[in-house]
Amino acid sequence: MTQPQRPPLHLAVALDGAGWHPAAWREPDARPGQLLSADYWTGLVAEAEAGRLDFVTFEDGLALQPSGQVRGRLDAVLIAARVAPLTRGIGLVPTVVVTHTEPFHIAKAIATLDYVSGGRAGVRVRVSARPDEAAHVGRRAVPGPADLLAEAADYVEVIRRLWDSWEDDAEIRDAATGRFVDIARLHYIDFEGRWFSVRGPSITPRPPQGQPLVAALAHRGPAWDLAAARTDLALVTPQDAAQAGAASAVIRQREEAAGRPAGTVRILADLAVVLDPAAGAAAARRARLDERAGAPWASDAEIFAGTPAELADLLLDWQAAGLAGFRLRPAVLPHDLTQITRGLVPELQRRGAFRRDYEADTLRGLLGLARPANRYAA
């Protein structure tokens, strides 16, 4: 009997500094002197695009990284905007700390990124409970965890309404009559909530994707609620296939409870990776990195050390638990990124589990997400 063919995997990489291992910047092929240059980031994204990855994410935060790691970073949204015109197929998803930014500004920034990239923009919403990050803003006390996530849910609702506040045909550009915009097709969103009061409309026309991708890291509990009810993409952190299946099942249940159609949310698992083609080399390299850092590498995500072929086995095993794909966190850049694009990707392609070229022009299209209708259009 013929076995049903699995859907191809979705693959992304999370870019952060010199890599996710604290000692990554001390590796021989690391480039710590270039971390604040445009060439560094455009080179990494070009490598990811050459591997036909779905998208890259850019990490961000409002506080310095811990001592011993790379310290200091560029703004994630601005990195994505710089990279966008130099790429053609890959999605660009910067991280935004929504606890301390205004939704109107971010809606405008991500809409702009969607225009600059031709429809390949997204945003990963992140909350912050850190007092030192709140002190940079100085406007309020930090809410509790439940309130932070509830506030983030309202934040996403506001930016989605702002993206819809212009109908698709609001710009008429009629030189003969002098009418550039049909004001009747611009809408006040009139959002009133516990944390935000936003009238709208946006000052940026509706983005090419209609709604750029919204993602969130969802470890457990209330974060699963946020991902299931408000986002397009949930990034979960299981330690094995059983946990991957359990997280997927919970998100599907909460997606249904939120009144969303089944399968609306794409579920990807985060996995930190140390990759080398020779057996045992990755484990040895991880041990050397840990020794340099002075402590074993700890992560919220599972850490894999092995060959690209062994990683392919693991990904396909976990995929069967209900995952649409994976966001991989390279331990060291560029080494582990090139092991993904030049080792893992060809291995998955040989197994018929990953695309050989981009098959859609937008990030939503790559992930099999339809362009949503405008909620305000008659």
Map out the domains of the chain as residue ranges.
10-129+211-366
Which pLDDT score, from 0 to 100, does residue 220 have? 86
Query: Residues of the chain with pLDDT > 70: what percent?
Result: 98
Find the mean pLDDT for residues 284-295: 97
Over residues 29-68, the pLDDT tens digits come to 999 999 999 999 999 999 999 999 999 999 999 999 988 8
Which pLDDT score, from 0 to 100, does residue 4 have? 53
The pTM score is: 0.96
Q: Which position has the token pair 């310290």?
A: 71
d(CA 52, CA 349): 11
Which pLDDT score, from 0 to 100, does residue 138 have? 82
d(CA 30, CA 32): 6
Find the mean pLDDT for residues 190-215: 97
Which pLDDT score, from 0 to 100, does residue 3 have? 47
109, 65 contact by CB (below 8 A): no
Least confident among 174-183, 199-208, 254-263, 297-306: 174-183
199, 180 contact by CB (below 8 A): no
Find the mean pLDDT for residues 312-337: 97
Asked whether residue 149 carries a pLDDT value surpassing 80, the answer given is yes
CA 336 to chain centre: 19
Over residues 245-284, the pLDDT tens digits come to 999 999 999 999 999 999 999 999 999 999 999 999 999 9
Which pLDDT score, from 0 to 100, does residue 197 have? 96
d(CA 35, CA 16): 10
d(CA 129, CA 122): 23
Over residues 11-33, the pLDDT tens digits come to 999 999 999 999 999 999 999 99
Over residues 83-138, the pLDDT tens digits come to 999 999 999 999 999 999 999 999 999 999 999 999 999 999 999 999 889 898 88
Asked whether residue 139 carries a pLDDT value surpassing 80, the answer given is no
Which pLDDT score, from 0 to 100, does residue 221 have? 86
Calculate the average pLDDT of the chain.
95
CATH number of the structural domain 10-129+211-366: 3.20.20.30
Find the mean pLDDT for residues 193-202: 96
